[in-house]
Structures are given as structure tokens and as C-alpha cells.
Structure 1
Amino acid sequence: MSQKTENLLTVLDVGSAKTRVLVAELHEGALRFRGYGETESTGMRKGLVADLKNATQSINKAATTAEGMAMETIDHCVVGIGGGHIRGLNSRGGVSLGTRLREITREDVRAAVDRARSVSLPNDREIIHLLPQQFILDEQPGIHDPVGMVGSRLEVNLHISTASASALQSVVTCANKAGLEVTESVFEAIAAAEATVSADERELGSCLIDIGADSTELVVFFEGSVAHTSVIPIGGSHFTNDLAVGLHISVPEAEWIKCNYGHAVVTSVSSSNEIELQGMPGHSPRTVRQRYISEILEPRARELFQLLRENLRQGGVLEALGAGCVLTGGGSRLPGLLDTAESLLRVPARIGTPVPLSRMPEELIAPEYTALVGMLLYAHRTSVTRAAEDQGLRAKLRAIFAGSL
């Protein structure tokens, strides 16, 4: 592998509606856009692989397009994981450092995290994230990095994100068959937050709500750390299907109507506006009131945020959203959703778009690409952190060997 290829970062998002591949390069310590590919997802259903062959073909098509734009061969990637099989839980564990006070090392931190992660999980669950919330040193809470501090007992509050092992492996298998080696997986809501949620919002308390095609994924931050993750089984396709059934039209036409005339708040739509529907094949075109479209969409929007509010309440974080919530994902484009979110969650809401990479096309600075761009930022940050830790370890080993000479 050439040095140039090693500087490439590639991320893969296999969604229910679209399969996307984004390529960037490390240039002078920053990420620079190189290529992008997108295709309709085939072989996917409700965030899960339903047809291995078709899903592989979608990944291959998107990857080939991205390679052509980047003018580089891509052979490895970070993959995004989402869907109703994602689960999050909080755990606590710790280690005793002996009877005498001593300095906390990185190995002590790892030992405390390992103790906290030792929870009983079903056999079909696989851990995808271990996210420390805070460390407790000799009963002193609120510590973010205890390395170098002195104490006798170290504990950690840990958030653990898990996925269905079979669902995760199916995505990895499809990527492998398409010629991509998966180096890491990331929960898409956490990735989306990487590209949209500020440090101040994380500290004050904020909920990132990523509305995808078949599900809505969320992550709550409080005091700078992940406090809660979950998935609501409602997404943009449910709004589209409601319109298709209610208006007796095809799903593609329902999607077009939703995007061009939809609104989640009935009272915001004029009662006099009318639009023409083509209807199902064999039926004559007809007109309907635009407000009738909102009468179909509003109950689904309210259901989504009522379920979300109950999820936050059960997770104990409903009152922790001091900075409000951030809506992103393709489903967040529906007008009126911000009003619905603020009404039912009773906090400020805004639409989140990804921070742009250098040279990135303007059309990618949109809510539906937030998770994809966030995956790149997440992969870059974790690689920098690992490199710093490895460098520190090598320096320590050199010092040990130098001392033995």
C-alpha cells in the first residue's frame, strides 16, 4: 500500500434508502474531500441486510463511483451501523490501586473500563462503543481524565453501545464481498453528533435526533459525555407510506408530494391551496387540498416525538436537555418538524447540517449527509488518539530499554 493510499479515509453508510461512500485524505493534519458515491439501496430492509447479493452490488456501485472521483483505489473503510437492533446501557466498575496512594496510569484507566464493561450481555450482542461518562477517584466524581492524578481507587461510569452481532456481520460481509475491508464500525447517531453538536451543547445537555428512512436514532450528551443512546422505529419512509395509503398514490409519487408539499403542522398550511395528484395507473388525475396532506403527516410526526419523549423519560435524560435538540438526517427536512419537536419535548430545536470538509461539494452540506461526514470526523479523531497513545507507549518502552543499558 502506498503512502498516498494510507492517507485516505473511507466511510460507508448502508442505509435503507441510500448506500453512500465518502473518501477524504489527510492533508497537513486536516481532512480534505476526495470522492463520493451514492446509489439506491437494494437488499436492505428496516436497516438490516435482507439480500446479501443485492446489498453487495449497491456497495460496490457506490464505492466504484467514489473511487472514480477520488482517482484512487479504496480497499478499507469505516462502516456506519444503525437500525432498531442498536441498544445502549450504562454501567459502573472500578479497580483498587492498593493501600497506598499512587499515580494513575493509562493501564489503570483501561482496567477500570474493562471492569465496567464486564456486564452480562445476550450471546447475540456485540459491543461497538465503550464511552466513559466520568471517572470517580477515591469517591471524587466528575473527572474526565484521571491519568497523572493520585489515588487508591478508580471507578468509571460507562455507556455501552451494542448491536446485533448477526446484523453487524451481515453488513461487514457485504462490504468484504464488495472489496472493502471494514476496519471499524460506528453508531450513526454518534457519528452524526460528531459533525453537528458543539462542545457547549454537549456540556449543557443536548439530544441529537437522526431521522433516517426506516428509523430515528438518538444520542444524548450531558456534561460533555454520552448519557443515553436509543433507536425509535419510525423514519421518513413511514411518512411517505402514510401518504401513499391515504392519498391512494404510488410510493414514488408520495415521496415527491411529501418533499414538495408536506408539512407536519396542519394549521401552518393554507386551507385554500390545492395540488394535482397523478394517482395509481389507470386512474384519472385529481386534486386534493394541501392541508389534507398535512392532516395525514401531522399524526405521524406527533407519534414520533411522543415516542422519543417517552424514550428520553425512561432513560432519565428528559430533563437534561439544557441546550435543546438537534434534528438531522433526510427525514428532518419535513417542514414543521422543528415546531413539533419544540412543542412535545419543550426545548429549543434546530436543524443540524455537517461541518464542511475542505473542497467538499456544497450539495453534501445537507442533513442527509450528516452521519456520513461525521463518520469521517470520528474515524480521524480516533486514529489521532490511537497514534498519540502508541507514540507515548513507544517513548515509555524506549526509556525502559535505555535505562537497562
Structure 2
Amino acid sequence: MSGHNIVVGLDVGTTKTVVIVAEIDQQGGVIIIGVGEQPTQGVRKGGIVDLEAVIKCIVAATEKAEQMSGCRVQNAYVAVSGPHLSSVNNKGVVAITNKNREIAPEDVDRVLQAAKVVALPQDRRIIHVHPRQYAIDGNDGIVDPIGMAGARLEAEINIVTASGTALQNLLKCIQKAGLQEEELVPAALASAEAVLLPAERNLGCLIVDIGGGTTEFAVFDQGRLWFSSVLPVGGNLITNDIAIGLRIPVEAAETLKTEHGCVFPRLMPDNEMIPIPDMLGHETKKVSKKLLASIIEPRSREILSLIKNELKRSGYRGVLPGGLIVTGGVAQLNGLIELAAEEMDLPARIGCPEKMNGVSDCIQNSSYATAAGLVLYGARQLSYVQAAPTGERFFGGIINKFKHLFQDFFA
């Protein structure tokens, strides 16, 4: 098995750390050959609060993935999450000065460099540049300008930035766990890679990944990333509400949520009861499913309301005919998709990873969307490199420059 055809994704989430190892076949297909999972310790609302605990989680998950795949894991595409992430749209313009006015990869590189010049606070770092469209001499909507003729090339891009200190802590954990980052990828973009259909991207859609401690979401329009953001809320808030409301351990509250939870109290019968434990773990009494749902509903509506407000804040004015795609662990909560459709006034569906073979049945669950998306993203980057060895086509050259930037900054 040739090492250059292996792609690894690492997702350090608030509730679990996942490592996925995939082999890329000659046709570019993704074959999952190893999955490692470990409950995360040391992360709160997407932010690292205990370096040593996170390092141990990464090591444990990596060892499990290595054991299943039979591969030594060294480099990984790494998901970046947390409320410190933000995105902004920007434009750049360059003149085409060669004799025949034909746009070359170097010109695309120049215009992307020009577009990413934005005023950032000292602690902010660019982690991802996503070209939305190009324009040649005022004609916009161009996806790939290379080889076309023109005198003026414009690029409209989406720039995702992150806190430099948060990145430094994440990279330190990864490196002390014996790994090197291949590329840092915003979690929402990775999830989109795994669950969105091309038609949804093109029409315009909203993807929402509700995890344990954070909610990532992104808007796609005409196939391109328009806006992304992260909120410091997630399923753990629902779990904590259940624990407080019923006065039971958090672990028992999480089990109740996943096994019996529903967001619509009106759908639950009054006489269907569930046994619950006390703080010592002993079964003491029973509560109705209706009562459980009445605790879950307000927090679920609050999370969706925050997403709706953030979407308004983004300035997006489209109608999103591609609808709402909800993924992440909380997406499996009974009734959440229907509630999301009601609150957001959009057609909604649950998004689960697909497009993969091998032991992909291990990750065909919405809670693995980010990790699965990382290997799909990595496979696509690998195909770019193989198609264009110079690494200059599209924004491959930019990515390499960013990697060197991070190496210099965090050395």
C-alpha cells in the first residue's frame, strides 16, 4: 500500500476525537480503511483547556485507527472549530501583462494573494481561502480562468480566520501526539464536503453541524462558500438542562437524551415513563417522556434561533432553495429536523457521510460528518496535486504558502 495514496482526517471535537484513515484509489475513490475514536477530555466549547488531556485523546484515537488500517499515521488534515473562527468576503484585482493576455496559473496566484490582503487584528490568522468566483474584464461567474484571455482579472473570495493562540494550542497538541498537520480545515467546510449534494451547493443551501460544544454552519451559493461561523452552543447544553431539571448525573442525562429524547412534547404520551437514576446511579423514580421533551424543546429552539440570527448578521439575502442540511450528533435527536425546518422556514434533511467505500459503515452517522469530510477534502487536494504537479492550478499554490506561513509562525 503506497503511502502517498493515504489520507488521514483528525477531528478533535468537544465530545469525541476521531481519526479516519482512507486510501485513495486510481479513480480518486475514497476507501475507508481505519477509524479510531476516543472520548475527548480537555476541550470545552471547541476550545482546548487541558493540553495533556487532548494529547492523550489524539494518541489513543490515532493508535486505534492505525491498528484497524495497518498504516502508520504521520500527517493529517485537521479540523478547526470554536467560536474564535470567523469569515469575511473580499475582492482582489490584477492586470494581465503578458503579450498574448492569456491568464496563467501565476496570475491566479497573484489575484488570490491580492484578495487575501485584509486588515486583521494582530492575533488573527488566515486558515482558509475559498475562491467564490472570478471575473475577466467585468464578466463574472467564471470558475476557472486559466487559459482564458483578458486584461483585468478579479477574484472574489471567502477568507476564514482564526485566533492565533487557539491554533497554536491545537498544533502543539497535534505535534506532541506525534503527528504533523497536512492542512487546517474549518470544520463546517469539512462537514459540507461529506454531506452536501452538488445540486444543494449550486442552488444555495445552509449546512448546520450541531456538535456537543459548538454549532458550525456555512452558507453555500452557486457552488461556493459564501459565509461560515461558529457558535459556542451545542448538544451539551441540552444534556445539562436534563441533568439539572431531573437532578441526575450528566452521563445519565446524555443517555436519556440519545435514547428517549424528542423536541416535541405534544407528540409524547403522558403515560409513557422512563426510569431515571439518582446522583449515585441508583434507579429511584420514573419520569414521563413528555416531561423529558419539555426540557429539551426550549434549548433546541434557542440554538436554532441563534443560528437564524447569525444568518441575518451575515448579510446573506438569498432564499436558499437548496434548503437546510443538519448534521452532527444532535441531528439525530428525534424531531430536530422537523423543528429546524419550522424555525428556519426551509426544507430540511439530516446529513450523513456518503461517497465512500471500505469500512465506511462505521461512520455512516451524522456525528462523523466532519472527520469523514476531512478525508474527502484531502482526496480532492491530492487529485489537484496529481493533475498539476507544480501545485499552481487553482489555489494549490496558495495552500502550500499558508502551510509554510504556519510553520514559520509556530516554529
In 1, distance between residues paired with 2:61 and 2:46? 17
Q: Which runs of 5+ in 2 are unaligned?
A: 394-411
1:45-124 → structure 2 map (5 Å cutoff): 45-98=44-97, 102-124=101-123
Residue 188 of structure 2: aligned partner: 189
Letter in 2 for 1:12: L
Q: Secondary structure at the match of 2:291?
A: helix
Equivalent position of 1:5 in the other structure: 3
Residue 94 of structure 1 aligns to a residue in which SS? strand
Please state how far the C-alpha of 1:156 moved relative to its aligned partner. 1.2
Q: Residue 142 of structure 1 aligns to which amino acid in structure 2?
A: G
Question: C-alpha separation between the residues in 2 aligned to 1:221 and 1:104?
Answer: 27
- Equivalent residue number for residue 400 of structure 1: none
**TM-score, with normalisation over the residues of structure 1?**
0.92
Structure 1 counterpart of 2:47, which letter? L
Structure 2: how far apart are the matches of 1:360 and 1:373? 12
| 3-state SS of 2:88 partner | strand
Instruction: Give the Cα–Cα distance (whole angstroms) in 1 for the partners of residues 232 and 25 of structure 2.
Output: 39
Change in Cα spacing, 1:387 to 1:193, as seen in structure 2 (3 Å) is same
Residue identity opposite 2:352 in structure 1: T
Q: Where do residues 3-402 of structure 1 align in structure 2 (5 Å cutoff)? A: 4-29=2-27, 30-98=29-97, 102-281=101-280, 285-317=284-316, 319-390=318-389
Structure-2 separation of matches of 1:5 and 1:164: 32
User: What secondary structure is seen at the aligned counterpart in 2 of 1:34?
Assistant: strand
Superposed displacement of residue 254, structure 1: 0.3
Whose RCO is larger (CA < 8 A, sep 6+)?
2
C-alpha distance in structure 2 between counterparts of 1:282 and 1:67, whole Å: 36
Q: Contact 2:249/2:281 (CA < 8 Å) preserved in 1? A: no
State the AA in 2 paired with 1:67.
E
1:285 is aligned with what amino acid?
Answer: T
Residue 402 of structure 1: aligned partner? none
Post-superposition offset of 1:389: 2.5
The CA deviation string for residues 297-354 of structure 1, in whole angstroms up to 9 with x for no partner, is: 1111111111111111121225331110111111111111111111111110000110
Q: Is the 8 A contact 2:207 2:324 kept in 1?
A: yes
CA contact (8 A) 2:385 2:391 kept: no
Larger mean CA deviation between 238-247 and 69-78 belongs to 69-78
% identity of equivalent residues: 37
**Structure showing greater Rg:** 1
Q: Return the alpha-carbon distance in structure 1 between the equivalents of residues 283 and 207 of structure 2.
A: 43
Q: Which segment is superposed worse, 282-291 or 173-182?
A: 282-291
TM-score (norm 2): 0.91
Deviation at 1:141, TM superposition (A): 1.5
Write the distance in 1 (CA, Å) between the matches of 2:12 and 2:307: 24
Secondary structure at 1:122 match in 2: coil
Offset, 1:200: 0.7
Give the letter for the 1:381 counterpart. R
**1:18 counterpart letter in structure 2:** K
**Contact kept? 1:214, 1:234, Cα under 8 Å:** yes
Taking the aligned partners of 1:319 and 1:221, their CA distance within structure 2 comes to 10
Q: Per-residue CA shift, 1:94-148, capped at 9, x if unaligned? A: 1122598711111111111111100011111111111111112111121111112
Deviations 1:193-215 (A, max 9, x none): 11111111101001111111101
Deviation at 1:356, TM superposition (A): 4.8
Aligned to 2:403: none
The 1:184/1:284 distance shift into structure 2, 3 A limit, reads closer
Quick one: structure 1 residues 340 and 282, their matched pair in 2 at CA, closer, same or farther if it must change by over 3 Å? closer
After superposition, the CA RMSD in angstroms is 1.9
- Contact 2:201/2:221, CA 8 A, preserved across alignment: yes
**How far apart are the structure 2 equivalents of 1:330 and 1:282?**
25
The 2-side partners of 1:365 and 1:345 are apart by 26
TM-aligned CA distance change 1:245 to 1:205, over 3 Å: same
Contact kept, 8 Å, 1:205 with 1:220, in 2: the verdict is yes
Higher mean C-alpha deviation, range 364-373 or range 97-106: 97-106
CA distance in 1, matches of 2:281, 2:130: 56
Question: Which one is further off, 25-34 or 214-223?
Answer: 25-34
Is the CA contact (8 Å cut-off) linking 1:211 and 1:332 kept in structure 2? yes
| Bigger Cα displacement from structure 2, 25-34 vs 215-224 | 25-34
Q: Which residue of 2 aligns with 1:399?
A: none
Given the superposition, is the C-alpha separation of residues 145 and 53 from structure 1 closer, same or farther in structure 2, using an over 3 Å criterion? Answer: same
Does the C-alpha gap of structure 1 residues 284 and 71 become closer, same or farther in structure 2, counting only changes over 3 Å? Answer: closer
1:283 positional shift = 7.5
> 1:392: Cα distance to partner?
8.2
SS at match of 1:108: helix
